[in-house]
Amino acid sequence: METMTFPRYSPDEIINSLRTYVLTGSEGRNLVKSDLFGTPKLDVLHLIYMRILQKVYAINLEHFYVMPVNVDIMYPQIYDGFLPVCNLYIHMERLLPVCRINDFQIADILNPKTKRTVRFLSGILNFVNFREFRRQVYLELQLNYKTALEKHQQLEAANREAAMKLEKLNTVPAEHQEEVKQLTESIRDLEHLLRQDYRRKQTALQEVISQKKMDIAESTRKLNDLKVTMATLKEEQEQLKSKIVESPEELKNYKEQMKETVKKLKKSKEEITQKYESYRDLVEILPSCQLEVQLYKKKMERQGANVERLASVLSEVRNIEDQSDSAQIELKRVKTDEMSLKRLVTAKREALATIELKIQKKREDVEQHKCTVLEYCNKVQEKRGAVYDKVMAIHKEIQQTRYKIEELKENAGKEAMKAKEIHLSLKAALEKCHESLIKTAKSFEASRKERIAELKKGLLSIQSPGSSH
């Protein structure tokens, strides 16, 4: 654990973090440095571990005092005092590897050491801070996702409404289809009549214009001829003035002739001016006719646009009719699917009702079992105080026995040294004894052999005289 992945907090930082993030109310106010450092208090340390497990895994405090239901235990009263410690150790053993701590032992709960407790609390607080930071990030992401989803739903609803409105605008109701057909026919007839009238008026106007142009050209030609004649008459008058005879009668006759010619010229001039004015009026009328022609052209263009629009509307109507036919076919298919789905839903609902009844029964059984377990837990909690005192007394006795065991171990070591010395001395004495026994055995064997030899000689000497007899 020399290469840790979490910082080692100071005692003040650990106390402040526990007060702000883990403990609440009077528990945080009553926490002091001496509860965890020096000689850690077991009840305070156990409470901190329980609060951390409650914060991380949502484990309630009563779960630490609950006996497992799936295990048959002959005498559960024996486990009353040890059960919270055992459950706390099991849950902490599951939590601490997540905090990058892998050497947690049950001795860290029963007899905690200050350095190991500081390291454990540093790793746990680092994980709690990291968890809170990631939880805030996750909540922000969840909030952004909810807002985006609501906005997406609103946009989809607006899109559907716009599509429905567009469909309504594009579709021609069945009530107005006859009216639309009549309007199209009337528009076609009116367009045909307008074209015919326009062509007729245009040809008549072109004829009138060509006729007026011819008349104007004729009148201008006559006016030019009259101007030429006036010029020639003036020249003749000047020539005649030079050749005037003094006779008054000829002069009078000549003057009368001249007056008659002047009158004729005036009459012809008035006729020409009248014709010119009539031609000018006709020419002035021509722009108004052209405006009417332009208006007719504009009307014809509008009618053409209306006809094109009507053709597009009719094509859209045909497309919509095709879509409606396909939609009706799809609707029939959807209705058949809906009927089959309804049958499936009814069957599922019946199955769900039966399952709900079973679940209800199981819930009632669980509630009843929970009530019994809670009653048993209450009894266990009542017994917990007495058993806890017993456990503390047993713990003190265990410590005393440990001290005694250590003393006995020391005495046993001394006795073992003494026994070893005695063993060595006995071993030396035995070796000496063995050597003396070997010497005595050898001397005894040698004397025995000598005696046997003497007995054999005696027997031989005894047998020899007997044989002579």
Q: What is the dihedral of CA 44, 50, 53, 59, to 10 degrees?
A: -160
Q: At what angle do helices 83-95 and 42-57 cross, to 10 degrees?
A: 50
- pLDDT band with cut points at 50, 70 and 90 for residue 138: very high
- pLDDT band with cut points at 50, 70 and 90 for residue 143: very high
Q: Are 276 and 219 in contact (CB under 8 A)?
A: yes
Domain ranges of the chain: 11-164
pLDDT at residue 78, as a whole number: 65
Query: Does position 469 have pLDDT exceeding 70, yes or no?
Result: no
pLDDT tens by residue, 212-240: 888 888 878 887 887 788 788 777 777 76
- Scored b (16 or more CB within 10 A) or e, 44-78 reads bbbbbbbbbbbebeebeeebbbbeeeeeeeeeeee
Tokens of 362: 């199981």
Q: For residue 420, what are the CA distances in angstroms to 408, 413, 429?
A: 17, 10, 14
Contacts of residue 177, Cβ cutoff 8 Å, sequence gap at least 6: 317
Q: Which fold has domain 11-164?
A: Actin-binding Protein, T-fimbrin; domain 1 (1.10.418)
Q: What is the CA radius of gyration of the chain?
A: 68
Query: What is the total residue count of the chain?
Result: 469
Query: Does position 60 have pLDDT exceeding 60, yes or no?
Result: yes
Per DSSP, the residues of 425-450 read: HHHHHHHHHHHHHHHHHHHHHHHHHH
Q: Are 95 and 124 in contact (CB under 8 A)?
A: yes
What is the C-alpha end-to-end distance of the chain, expressed in Å? 109
Token look-up 């007997």 returns: 466
Instruction: For residues 90 and 256, give the distance between their C-alpha atoms in angstroms, rounded to a whole number.
Output: 155
Instruction: For residues 294 and 286, give the distance between their C-alpha atoms in angstroms, rounded to a whole number.
Output: 12
pLDDT at residue 1, as a whole number: 40
Q: Can you give 189-207 as a three-state secondary structure string? A: HHHHHHHHHHHHHHHHHHH
Q: For residue 463, what are the CA distances in angstroms to 89, 174, 450, 457, 466?
A: 98, 164, 20, 10, 5
pLDDT tens by residue, 376-398: 777 767 777 676 777 788 878 88
Q: Can you give 132-156 as a three-state secondary structure string? A: HHHHHHHHHHHHHHHHHHHHHHHHH
Beta strands in 250-355 (DSSP E): none
Instruction: For residues 442 and 463, give the distance between their C-alpha atoms in angstroms, rounded to a whole number.
Output: 31
Question: How much of the chain, in percent, has pLDDT values that exceed 90?
Answer: 3
Q: Are 127 and 98 in contact (CB under 8 A)?
A: yes
Q: Are 81 and 388 in contact (CB under 8 A)?
A: yes
Question: Which of 109-113, 136-140, 353-357 bottoms out in mean pLDDT, i.e. has the lowest?
Answer: 353-357
Q: Which residue has the higher pLDDT, 140 or 373?
A: 140
HSE-CB at 166 with a 13 A cutoff on CA atoms is 7
Instruction: For residues 172 and 161, give the distance between their C-alpha atoms in angstroms, rounded to a whole number.
Output: 18
165 burial via Cβ count (<10 Å: 0-12, 13-18, 19+):
exposed
- pLDDT band with cut points at 50, 70 and 90 for residue 64: confident
pLDDT at residue 184, as a whole number: 79
Q: Are 34 and 8 in contact (CB under 8 A)?
A: no
Instruction: For residues 430 and 257, give the distance between their C-alpha atoms in angstroms, rounded to a whole number.
Output: 205
Contacts of residue 11, Cβ cutoff 8 Å, sequence gap at least 6: 33, 36, 37, 118
Mean pLDDT along residues 24-47: 84
Q: Are 352 and 40 in contact (CB under 8 A)?
A: no
pLDDT at residue 139, as a whole number: 92
Q: What is the dihedral of CA 357, 361, 364, 370, to 10 degrees?
A: -130
Instruction: For residues 354 and 90, give the distance between their C-alpha atoms in angstroms, rounded to a whole number.
Output: 39
Instruction: For residues 121 and 9, give the distance between their C-alpha atoms in angstroms, rounded to a whole number.
Output: 8
Q: What are phi and psi of 391, to 5 degrees?
A: -60, -40
Q: What is the dihedral of CA 386, 387, 393, 395, to 10 degrees?
A: -150
Q: For residue 143, what are the CA distances in angstroms to 135, 146, 152, 405?
A: 12, 5, 14, 63
pLDDT at residue 306, as a whole number: 64
CA geometry: angle 226, 232, 235, nearest 5 deg = 145
Q: Is the alpha carbon torsion for 423, 424, 425, 431 positive or negative?
A: positive
Tokens of 436: 């003396």
